[in-house]
Structure 1
Amino acid sequence: MVNTVFGNDMKQALILAKKGVQLADQLNDKNWQPQFYEMEGRMHANLLQLDSANLFFNKAMKGYKAIDNKRGQASTAFKMAWVLKKYGEYEKAMQKDIYALKLMESIDDKAGICDALTRISNDLTNQNRLEEALVYAKKAIDMAEKNNLTSEFYFVYNNAGDVAIAMNEYLLSLDYFTKANAIAEEQNFGQIYMADIANSQGNALKRLGRYEEAIKYYSSCLAIAKKANYPNAMNTVTANLGEVNLLLGNYKEALKYQLETIQLQEANNDYSNLIENYHHTSTIYSKLNDFESALAYKQKAYDLRDSIGSIESDAKMSELLTKYETEKKRKP
């Protein structure tokens, strides 16, 4: 029931996950406890209740280790990495994703390996190491197609679209997102996935300069996200509506969206894309001739960049991935 409802109503899924936790704890069921801890953590994460998400992911990891469930450990590590990226801790996130990849390889879980490759590709995109990101994205697509991993098609195409956007291949990105959208509709993935892919399609159209079309997709995403109680998508698409209105010269409308996004991100300690949102807000204030506010938000962007320590982190992440690939080559 949690998995079914999750795709369409995040808050209702959380209620059901809590019931599952309560039942598993009452029975002291060592197999079900970590599964429901992981589920509840996932709901909290997508509702941007990040501290609660961490609490349950840690409980899930402990429970999965106690019963030596490697697939559960890997799945939870993926989710822990997602939260770490929200906090801007990209090095620790990549550590978790590589740890999960090794676990999936140890049990030869093809879908899990494919998932890990996709997530590491995303890590590399975040570092702007785009050639490597593309290599991992293609590895994930190949694995999904060769092994007919229908459950992974949406994710590998969506990620490949993100890499293509980062590489300024906007038509290619739109093609990948269109494929992902078709998969989501065909497999009836649920509303949260439709919200995510509508946002992605809007991103490609925005980069192609097709701003009015982009706004239609962003507006669709926002409507679906509100209906599904999905604040993570609401935050993301609100920022995109701010940027596209900035590009159209609708500065007052853009400012409304950007300030709303920043307020939500700061309240939830969600640092993903927050530097970019500060920069956009600074630009909007400058266009509105409010140079004092423009300077204040520019300074916020620089302060956050310095606090995250992106340059040092990038170097450490590169070392992590090189170490993993070297170890893999040494194995017979």
Structure 2
Amino acid sequence: MHRFIVKTHFFFLLLFFQNHLNAQEIEVKNITLNHENLVALEKTQTDNLFDLLNNNELEKAHHQAKRLLKVLKTKESYVRIQLLLSHYYNKKTVLDSMAFYADKALKGTESIKNDSIRRILAASSYNLLGLSSNKRGLYESSKKYHLKGIEIVEKQKKGYPYYVNLHGLANIYSKLSDKENAIKYFNQCLQYKEDEEIVIGSYINLGSIYVENEDYETSNSYFKKVKAICKEKNNWQCQALSALNIGVNYVSIDNIPEALKYYNECLEICKKDKLYIIQVIVNQNIGEILFSQNKYQEAELYYLNALHVALEYDFLEQQKNIYLKLKEIAVAKGDYKNAYGLMTRYSEVKDSISKMQNDQDINELDIKFKTLQKENEIKDLTLKNNNKMLLLKNQERAIENLNLQKAIEKKQNENEVLKLQEVTQNKVNQINLLQKDKELKESEILREKQVRNIIIIGFLVLLIPVIALSFVYYQKQKAQLLINKKQQEISAQKNKALLKDQELKLVKAEIEGQDKERIRIAQELHDAVGGNLAAIKLQLNNSTYGKENEIKRINTQINDTYNQIRSISHNLLPKRFHQDNFCEFVEEYQNKLAEASHIQSYFSAHPRNEINKIDELILNEVYHIIQELITNTIKHAQANNIELQLNLIGNLFNIIFEDNGKGFAVENNKEGIGLTNIKNRIHQLNGNLQIDSTPNRGAIFNIEIPII
């Protein structure tokens, strides 16, 4: 600008110095004009990126936005790029990043001087923050953001920033069950014809409200109309929402086949276009239908699919609802332990939502305080600008007076211009001398560069061997780490082998004890009972029945033999549960084996006293059955958890044994000696055995023995 003034008014150079203030004012105006042009140019660039985003060229828009962010010069364009990045993460359903860039855009608007642009961009930021809170299930926070967005542009011409926040507010009122306000604001949104998405969204939400009024026919007519429009425009998200709502309506009128048809169509669209939040909802809806049909396994699968997406993308409200429903399925299946865990996760997510809601309220108060401070600063700046305007008006009057003096002093300046020409010639000579000095300095700089390059090359020559030695040292360390890791693995395998040996020794000792007991019983039967029976047989053969003394003697020997058999039978029972303590002994036996094998064990008996009073012969067989079950689990199942339940229900003794080991296919399983012994003992007691097991899912043995 200075060069322009010198060239145009060269002959009035002295007058230029007198009018220097006027020239500065012209220069300021010219800089403002250049700024406006720069804003317009950068706005065109950001608008092109928004076009890419709207055409679903998400990655291309994201890449160009990151690159453009490095070269932007104006605050307005910086804020627009932050808004674009927030929209990008909204489409990706990455809610944390969406809220981060929206908040960054909002803070950037504070430094924009143009009030109209600042308000529009701030309203857009509030809308994105409201949408992020809405998708997280933080409805009150979302409502506050949308109200701020409406308030900030309400006094301007009502355009997109106003109606997009109005649509978001109507959506929140609908979720908060304020149907009157929701219908009112959705109808207002229908008046804005310049944005198709707002109109379509309003129709969809109005259709949803008709659903709640149980007018399903009218509701479906809205949804099918919107679905046709969206299909024509290739709007996948809109199609998915329409199909979802039509399916919900068909469920309400018990037309399940049609409902599943539209749900499956919606699911395909969601997977194709990565509409994660809708994918979560439609999986929940299909799961609800299957649950109502008592298809618990299939219902659980759909709910788990929904939970996987909700956890990945931090949908807190959906996580809460899914955990609650999975709990109901677990209860229906009788899996109360899993139900308790799911209820715990439900409470944790619910508490997390409450905490985030409180944090949002605190942030709102902080923003309100900062906004009030900014408004006061703006008032002060406005007052200062008014004072500057008055000063500029006074300066303009001074400029008019100077222009009058210009005509008077014109002739005087012509003489002085000649003198200035001579001065200019001297300046040209000085410039030539300076040019020569510059060339000398450039040659010196060139030599310095050459010396610096030589130093760098020498440094690199030294650096390369150092890097090579470092790499060799790194490889050596890496090899040493691998050796250490292998040694740790070998040690772990040795420990496992020792533990397994201990387990086998316990089992072997128990089997040896059983063998010794069998030998002892055989000896007693042979020596005592066998001898008595032989004596009785001889006496019967050698005596007559008429002799009363002989008959009494034989009767006495028969009684002795009976008592010996009874004593041997009693000795078959473990000595520790002779005195009505069968349950306590079994529990102690189970815990000792489990502790030695590093297995968690659980035992329950109901009612204990009644079970302890069951016939000793039955308890003896049950004890050996339990021994076989625990031994087989330790040897073969690779379980880390076993559970034994004893229940006496009327005249039925029920034994349930469960482990979480590797399981087996019941229909393909080859019975070993242990399982055969178990079945034989149960058969002798006229009992019944049911086995429930699949590979990698553990095993459950359910035994029922009648008590006569």
TM-score under structure 1 length normalisation = 0.79
Q: Which moved more, 1:151-160 or 1:91-100?
A: 151-160
Alignment of 1:213-232 (within 5 A): 213-232=258-277
* 8 Å contact from structure 1 (residues 7, 190) kept in 2: no
Greater length-normalized contact order (CA 8 Å, ≥ 6 residues apart): 1
Q: CA deviation at 1:308?
A: 3.5
Q: CA deviation at 1:78?
A: 1.2
* 8 Å contact from structure 2 (residues 87, 128) kept in 1: yes
Q: Which moved more, 1:23-32 or 1:209-218?
A: 23-32
**Structure 2 residue aligned with 1:241:** 286
Residue aligned with 1:26, SS: coil
- Cα distance in 2, alignment partners of residues 262 and 84 from structure 1: 19
Contiguous gaps of at least 5 residues in structure 2 = 1-47, 362-708
- Aligned with 2:136 (options 70, 83, 87): 87
- Cα distance in 2, alignment partners of residues 250 and 7 from structure 1: 41
Q: CA deviation at 1:168?
A: 4.1
**Structure 2 residue aligned with 1:280:** 325
Residue aligned with 2:288, SS: helix
Over 3 Å counting, the alpha-carbon distance change for 1:32 and 1:237 in structure 2 is farther
* 8 Å contact from structure 2 (residues 147, 169) kept in 1: yes
Alignment of 1:241-320 (within 5 A): 241-309=286-354
Contiguous gaps of at least 5 residues in structure 1 = 317-332
- Cα distance in 1, alignment partners of residues 198 and 216 from structure 2: 22
- The answer to whether residue 78 in structure 2 is matched with residue 33 in structure 1 is yes
- Cα distance in 1, alignment partners of residues 55 and 254 from structure 2: 31
Over 3 Å counting, the alpha-carbon distance change for 1:167 and 1:280 in structure 2 is farther
TM-score under structure 2 length normalisation = 0.40
The structure having more radius of gyration, on CA atoms, is 2
- The answer to whether residue 232 in structure 2 is matched with residue 183 in structure 1 is no
* 8 Å contact from structure 2 (residues 50, 61) kept in 1: no
- Cα distance in 2, alignment partners of residues 161 and 4 from structure 1: 29
Residue aligned with 1:273, SS: helix
- The answer to whether residue 163 in structure 2 is matched with residue 114 in structure 1 is yes
* 8 Å contact from structure 1 (residues 21, 37) kept in 2: no
- Cα distance in 2, alignment partners of residues 164 and 278 from structure 1: 29
**Structure 2 residue aligned with 1:153:** 199
Alignment of 1:44-193 (within 5 A): 44-67=89-112, 68=115, 69=117, 70-141=119-190, 143-144=191-192, 150-186=196-232, 188-193=233-238
Over 3 Å counting, the alpha-carbon distance change for 1:300 and 1:163 in structure 2 is farther
Matched residue type, 1:225: C
Q: CA deviation at 1:94?
A: 0.7
* 8 Å contact from structure 1 (residues 275, 301) kept in 2: yes
Q: CA deviation at 1:289?
A: 2.8
Over 3 Å counting, the alpha-carbon distance change for 1:43 and 1:210 in structure 2 is farther
Over 3 Å counting, the alpha-carbon distance change for 1:104 and 1:168 in structure 2 is farther
Q: Which moved more, 1:90-99 or 1:299-308?
A: 299-308
Residue aligned with 2:75, SS: coil
* 8 Å contact from structure 1 (residues 18, 40) kept in 2: no
Matched residue type, 2:201: F
* 8 Å contact from structure 2 (residues 137, 317) kept in 1: yes
* 8 Å contact from structure 2 (residues 53, 61) kept in 1: no
- Cα distance in 1, alignment partners of residues 186 and 139 from structure 2: 18
* 8 Å contact from structure 2 (residues 85, 98) kept in 1: yes
* 8 Å contact from structure 1 (residues 111, 152) kept in 2: no
Residue aligned with 1:272, SS: helix
Q: Deviations over 1:147-198 (max 9, x none)?
A: 6764532011112123333444433332332232233234x15223322322
Q: CA deviation at 1:132?
A: 3.3
- Cα distance in 2, alignment partners of residues 293 and 168 from structure 1: 37
- Cα distance in 2, alignment partners of residues 148 and 16 from structure 1: 23
Over 3 Å counting, the alpha-carbon distance change for 1:82 and 1:291 in structure 2 is same
Q: Which has the higher strand share?
A: 2
* 8 Å contact from structure 1 (residues 243, 254) kept in 2: yes
Give percent identity, aligned residues only.
Answer: 21
Residue aligned with 1:107, SS: coil
**Structure 1 residue aligned with 2:67:** 22
Q: Deviations over 1:22-63 (max 9, x none)?
A: 214323343333222212212213323222222211222233
- Cα distance in 2, alignment partners of residues 248 and 28 from structure 1: 62
Over 3 Å counting, the alpha-carbon distance change for 1:134 and 1:3 in structure 2 is same
Q: Deviations over 1:255-298 (max 9, x none)?
A: 11111212322333211333322232222223333233334334
Q: Which moved more, 1:287-296 or 1:95-104?
A: 287-296
Q: Deviations over 1:114-145 (max 9, x none)?
A: 3333222221222233343333333434x34x
- Cα distance in 1, alignment partners of residues 94 and 354 from structure 2: 24
